Amino acid sequence: MVTLIKILSGVVGALAVLLLAHIDPALAQEAGAAAAPAAPAAPVSPINTGDTAWMLTSTALVLMMTIPGLALFYGGMVRKKNVLATLGAVFGATCIITVLWMIIGYSIAFTTNDSESLNRWIGGFKYFFLKPMGLNAVSSLAGTIPESVYMTFQMTFAIITPALIAGALVDRMKFSAFMLFMAAWLLLVYCPIAHWVWGGGWLGAMGALDYAGGTVVHLNAGTAGLVTCIVLGKRYGVGKENMSPYNLAYSVIGASLLWVGWFGFNAGSAVTANVNAGMAMAATQIATAAAALGWMVSEWIIGKKPSVLGMISGAVAGLVAITPASGFVNPTGALIIGIAAGVVCYFASVHMKKIFGYDDALDVWGVHGVGGALGAMMTGMLASNAINSASKGWLIDGNPQQMVIQFYDVAGTFIYCGIVTYIILKILDIIIGLRVSQAVEVEGLDINLHGEVVQ
CB 292 → other proteins: shortest distance, Å? 14
CB 239 → other proteins: shortest distance, Å? 8
| CB closer to other proteins, 112 vs 307 | 307
Q: How far is CA 340 from CA 127, 153, 343, 365, 372, in A?
A: 41, 29, 5, 16, 12
Strand, coil or helix: what is 173?
A: strand
Does 131 bind other proteins (CB under 8 A)? Our answer is no
Residue 252 CB coordination number (10 Å): 18
Q: Of residues 96, 130, 243, 395, which one binds other proteins by CB under 8 A? A: 243
Does 245 bind other proteins (CB under 8 A)? Our answer is yes
| Amino acid making up residue 98 | T
Does 298 bind other proteins (CB under 8 A)? Our answer is no
| CB closer to other proteins, 189 vs 350 | 350
| CB closer to other proteins, 281 vs 361 | 361
CB 385 → other proteins: shortest distance, Å? 39
| CB closer to other proteins, 61 vs 232 | 232
Does 351 bind other proteins (CB under 8 A)? Our answer is yes
CA–CA dist 417, 420 (Å, integer): 5
Q: Going by C-beta distance under 8 Å and a sequence separation of 6 or more, which residues neighbour residue 427?
A: none
Does 297 bind other proteins (CB under 8 A)? Our answer is no
Does 307 bind other proteins (CB under 8 A)? Our answer is yes
CA–CA dist 80, 259 (Å, integer): 25
Task: Using alpha carbons, select from 344, 316, 287, 317 the residue that is nearest to residue 73.
Answer: 316
Does 242 bind other proteins (CB under 8 A)? Our answer is yes
The one segment of 109-117, 256-264, 271-279, 351-359 that binds other proteins by CB under 8 A: 351-359
CB 244 → other proteins: shortest distance, Å? 5
CB 95 → other proteins: shortest distance, Å? 30
Inter-residue contact 227 to 241 (CB < 8 Å):
no
Does 313 bind other proteins (CB under 8 A)? Our answer is yes
Backbone Cα Rg of the chain: 24
Q: Is the four-CA dihedral 445, 449, 453, 454 of positive or negative sign?
A: negative
Query: 292, exposed or middle or buried, with CB in 10 Å at 0-12, 13-18, 19+?
Result: buried
Enumerate residues 58-77 that contact other proteins by CB under 8 A.
77
Q: Of residues 353, 370, 434, 446, which one binds other proteins by CB under 8 A? A: 353
CA–CA dist 357, 239 (Å, integer): 10
Q: Of residues 6, 126, 354, 426, which one binds other proteins by CB under 8 A? A: 354
Q: Phi and psi (nearest 5°) for 173?
A: -95, 145
What letter would DSSP give residue 325? T
CA–CA dist 206, 402 (Å, integer): 10
Does 109 bind other proteins (CB under 8 A)? Our answer is no
Compute how many residues bind other proteins; rule: CB under 8 A: 18
What letter would DSSP give residue 166? G
Inter-residue contact 210 to 390 (CB < 8 Å):
no
The one segment of 95-103, 206-214, 332-340, 345-353 that binds other proteins by CB under 8 A: 345-353
CA–CA dist 41, 33 (Å, integer): 13
CB 77 → other proteins: shortest distance, Å? 8
Query: 179, exposed or middle or buried, with CB in 10 Å at 0-12, 13-18, 19+?
Result: middle
| CB closer to other proteins, 293 vs 428 | 293
Does 303 bind other proteins (CB under 8 A)? Our answer is yes
The one segment of 17-25, 27-35, 86-94, 305-313 that binds other proteins by CB under 8 A: 305-313
Does 126 bind other proteins (CB under 8 A)? Our answer is no
**Residues making contact with other proteins (CB under 8 A):** 77, 239, 242-245, 303, 305, 307, 309-310, 313, 349-351, 353-354, 363
